[in-house]
Structure 1
Amino acid sequence: MSENEFIKELLSTSVNLEKNIDKISSIMKDKNVSVGVKNNIIFNCESTASDELLSVLLQNSLTNDSVLIDHEIAYKLGQLVQENSKEFLIELMSDENKDPIVRHEAIEALGNFENPSLISLIEKYLDSNESLVRETAYLAVRKLSVLTKENKYKLNINELDTKQVNDEFSVRSPAFITKKSFIESKSMFFKGDLWEKYTALLRLRDLNTEESYEVIKKGFEDKSALFRHEVAFVMGHLNNPTFIKTLESVLNNPKEEDVVRHEAAASLGCINTEESKKILMKNLNNPIRIVRESIECAIF
């Protein structure tokens, strides 16, 4: 069977992953295979493999070329929380030759492991020159301090819904949902520290009202690119066309950070209306690789 035939089978039917790990990993590393195909392979394998096997496959599939795919691998490993991926993620976090977007995703993934020994490892990056790495390390350490009952940051745990850590969104998010009201959450969203802004964002997301949407839109005015990228991510998962114009503005802003623009593209793909598709099609030749590849995946 040729590689192209195998890819077609991989994308359309169940393939025995255990017997084909090396073959699939080779395809993932092949620069001639489109990122759209690679991204779909990740999601298809997710539905057919055990968590442990998928974790092994992902670790063997690091491209060391596409920041988008490598950050997606780290993201998926953070969802799986398999012990066999911990050292791999630590290495990604520690490798200063890796793009900060990949390192950020590795740190965020480690923040999902209920292991207090990770706190001291991640704390080393609290003074990183890379803001994405530094801020993600701060959030991961705070999250781990709650998950592991260390609570070294003296958080008011009674105001945090720690049971939500395993829901669809919070596995991805380096914070917890707060039980505060709309008014309190709005205040935290604009005036809190980074951790408080994240928890407020999750609360505003769950309120799921027009007034909470309007507050979320203003998150792109925040000074933190990390927070702005999370705002874009949440918009995609809320999947409401009211965010299309805002996301389009972010995608088209050449002064915006790549990590934010890439997330805006992905979220436009999640919303998936004719309007959002047209916006993505107009940007297919974007000069920023991670933005362009995000668009390719969104319309694949």
Structure 2
Amino acid sequence: MLIDERVFTDKSEGRKDTGWTRNTSPETEAAINSSTLTVLEAPLLNASGQVPLHNRFRPLFTLTLLQNDDALKIISKGFEAKSALLKHELAYCVEQMNNTNALPILQAVLANEKEDLMVCDEAAEALGAISATSSKEVLERYLNDPERVVRETCEIALAKINWDHLEEGQKHWGALEDVSEENIAKLRNALNNKCLPVFDRYRPMFSLRNTGSAAAVDALASGFNDDSALTKHKIAFVFGQLLSTHSVPALLQVLQNSQESDMVRHDAVEALGGIVTLEMKRPDAVRIVRESCQVAIDIWEENSDQFQYANGLDSGAASEQVVGG
């Protein structure tokens, strides 16, 4: 995910709400009509060929908040884009909509052998998150895929669907985590146990995420020594949910490793960006920390002064500027 304003519950791991704020009122949604959707569709799909990439994300997140089939149809057209990053976010947003009408779209993305692995990974994960039993047959086809990321994600998605439909899995929702040092050590060992099925290593990952203590963050960071890009990518994503400053050293180490997988570094960047943004907004933040964050963001941002991505209906949000691709 690219932004820290997330409030959708990510059902792929039964996690607590950590997503975008759904700030569209019922009155606003009632006023959405075909012409308004067209206003959002044009910049998302870069109809003019002149829309900067970051300006394509804003209408995407706005459409996602609408949570309807018309918005889903527009989002699905975006998979023809060249940007792997954009298509990754498209798949993530489709997942958050939790609409079974998205299943054929996600299945087509997964089946595209020319698609970027990061996009295929997100499509498979979305199938698991929506958790329709009809997706099991599709996911099973890729359990022996030559690409490790694809087969591991499909294995997890299948296990997650099976888990969701078991009584044990349904009872797990909302269960309180054991925050004792002994349990954190146990979860850390399970996370790093390569003899366990991938799904059984992911469950302790999200238990540690829900615990959220410094010890839990250290336990999660130990997983960056794994040889699975998928596992490390998910740990970085989890750090983006926790937004704990305690995770910064581990994330920086990942980011600075030029040999690391692109999708792992991608999530590390986003987690760091979320932490910086949160620290800058904290009313009790030490002034020098807050001001340092502001300066860092200003240096990084350089020519853009817009941070709110889910504002595709705001005046000027869909304005087009010259950009490459």
- TM-score bracket, normalised by the shorter chain, equals 0.7 to 0.9
**TM-score, normalising length from structure 1?**
0.75
| 1:163 aligned onto 2:173 | yes
2-side partners of 1:297 and 1:177: how far apart? 38
Cα displacement (A) at 1:17: 5.3
Partner amino acid for 1:95? N
1:292 maps to none
Q: Which runs of 5+ in 2 are unaligned?
A: 1-23, 280-289, 310-325
Query: Identity of counterpart residues, as a percentage?
Result: 23
Partner amino acid for 2:58? N
1:18 maps to 34
Aligned runs of 1:49-64 on 2, under 5 Å?
A: 49-64=66-81
1:225 maps to 229
Partner amino acid for 2:202? Y
Residue pair 1:269, 1:277 contacting (<8 A) in 2 also:
no
Aligned runs of 1:64-79 on 2, under 5 Å?
A: 64-79=81-96
Structure having the larger proportion of residues in helix? 1
Aligned runs of 1:1-300 on 2, under 5 Å?
A: 16=32, 18-30=34-46, 31-47=49-65, 49-149=66-166, 158=168, 161-164=171-174, 181-191=183-193, 192-272=196-276, 273=279
Q: Deviations over 1:130-183 (max 9, x none)?
A: 12111100100111112234xxxxxxx64885425xxxxxxxxxxx99879323
What secondary structure does 1:122 align onto? helix
Q: 1:148/1:19 Cα in 2 relative to 1: closer, same or farther (>3 Å)?
A: farther
What secondary structure does 2:129 align onto? coil
**Alpha-carbon RMSD:** 3.2
What secondary structure does 1:111 align onto? helix
What secondary structure does 2:260 align onto? coil
2-side partners of 1:53 and 1:214: how far apart? 43
Q: 1:159/1:111 Cα in 2 relative to 1: closer, same or farther (>3 Å)?
A: closer
Q: Which runs of 5+ in 1 are unaligned?
A: 1-11, 150-156, 165-175, 286-295
Residue pair 2:243, 2:274 contacting (<8 A) in 1 also:
yes
Greater mean deviation of Cα atoms: 118-127 or 57-66:
57-66
Number of matched pairs? 260
Greater mean deviation of Cα atoms: 257-266 or 213-222:
213-222
What secondary structure does 2:50 align onto? coil
Cα displacement (A) at 1:25: 2.6
2-side partners of 1:78 and 1:132: how far apart? 18
Cα displacement (A) at 1:196: 1.9
Higher relative contact order (CA 8 A, sep 6+): 2
1-side partners of 2:177 and 2:142: how far apart? 26
Q: 1:184/1:203 Cα in 2 relative to 1: closer, same or farther (>3 Å)?
A: same
Greater mean deviation of Cα atoms: 107-116 or 17-26:
17-26
Residue pair 1:26, 1:61 contacting (<8 A) in 2 also:
no
Cα displacement (A) at 1:41: 2.1
**TM-score, normalising length from structure 2?**
0.70
